[in-house]
Amino acid sequence: MKKARLATLWLDGCSGCHMSLLDIDEAIIAVVQRADIVYGPLVDAQEFPVDVDVAIVEGAVSSQDDLEKIKRVRERSRILVALGDCAITGNVPSMRNRFLVKTILERVYVEGADAQKGIPTDGVPTLLKQAIPLQDVVKVDLHVPGCPPSASAILFVLNELLDGRIPDLGTKVRFG
Ligand code: SF4
């Protein structure tokens, strides 16, 4: 049977959702027997590939770079999963939303800097006015709440999706 093509993406999140994915421990062996992991922090692929069956996305959309990435991921993936509260609600990254971007950058890079004061411009993605959840910019097929979602919930989701079903998460997950 043809293996599914699985990708993960890390936008504006703390990596905790990816850590929780790794917490499925040895069960990852059974997952990779059924799916090729074609993109993600654990894979040395520079460009998000085409023809992805399942894309699992951690984090909010906070920068122009994030925005372009999530649109590309949506175009190239059959099922897009928002993993964790940051991807679903904005959560921690959206705590900056009540401040102007300029105010935040000056606070961090000018007022808060001991040396080399100045807002960086080279090689730094331009921040959006607000950190926003995935569903504000792309269609999301499945929301998996939690900060982070438990490893058991993530494994359940993976197995259901690889079996060709959209999982019924019921009481298996909760926000926070
Ligand atoms: S939902 Fe929680 S664990 Fe996941 S990226 Fe956001 S802050 Fe980190």
Segment 123-137, tens digit of pLDDT: 889 999 999 999 999
Amino acid at 30: A
The boundaries of the domain holding residue 79 are 4-96+130-162
Structural domain contains residue 137: yes
The pLDDT-based confidence of 42 (bands split at 50, 70, 90) is confident
Q: Does residue 136 belong to any structural domain of this protein?
A: yes
The total number of structural domains in the chain stands at 1
Q: Whose CA is nearest to atom 6 of ligand 1?
A: 86
Closest ligand 1 atom to residue 15 Cα is: 5
Query: Does residue 20 fall inside a structural domain?
Result: yes
CATH of residue 83's domain is 3.40.50.700
Rounded-to-integer distance, Cα 61 and Cα 16, Å:
16
Q: What is the pLDDT of residue 66?
A: 98
User: Is 75 part of a structural domain of the chain?
Assistant: yes
Q: What is the pLDDT of residue 172?
A: 86
Residue 70 or residue 42, greater confidence:
70
Number of alpha helices (DSSP H) and beta strands (DSSP E) in the chain:
6, 7
Does 172 reside within a domain?
A: no
Query: How do residues 79-112 score in pLDDT, each as one tens digit?
Result: 999 999 999 999 999 999 999 999 999 999 999 9
pLDDT of residue 1: 72
Q: Quick check: CB of 58 below 6 Å from ligand 1?
A: yes
Residue 107: both structure tokens together: 């606070």
Collapsed DSSP state (helix, strand, coil) of residue 137:
coil
Whether residue 62 lies inside any domain: the answer is yes
Band of residue 118 on the pLDDT scale cut at 50, 70, 90: very high
Q: Using the mean position of ligand 1's atoms as its centre, give its distance from the Cα of residue 2 in Å.
A: 32
Q: What is the pTM of this model?
A: 0.95
As a whole number, mean pLDDT of residues 44-60 equals: 96
User: Are 9 and 55 in contact, with CB atoms under 8 Å apart?
Assistant: yes
Q: Mean pLDDT over all residues of the chain? A: 96
**Ligand 1 centroid distance, CA of 17 (Å):** 6
Q: Rounded to the nearest 5 degrees, what angle is found at the Cα of 9, between the Cα atoms of 159 and 120?
A: 165
Q: Kindly state the helix (H) or strand (E) to which residue 105 belongs, with its residue range.
A: helix 101-106
Q: Is residue 106 part of a domain?
A: no
Band of residue 170 on the pLDDT scale cut at 50, 70, 90: confident
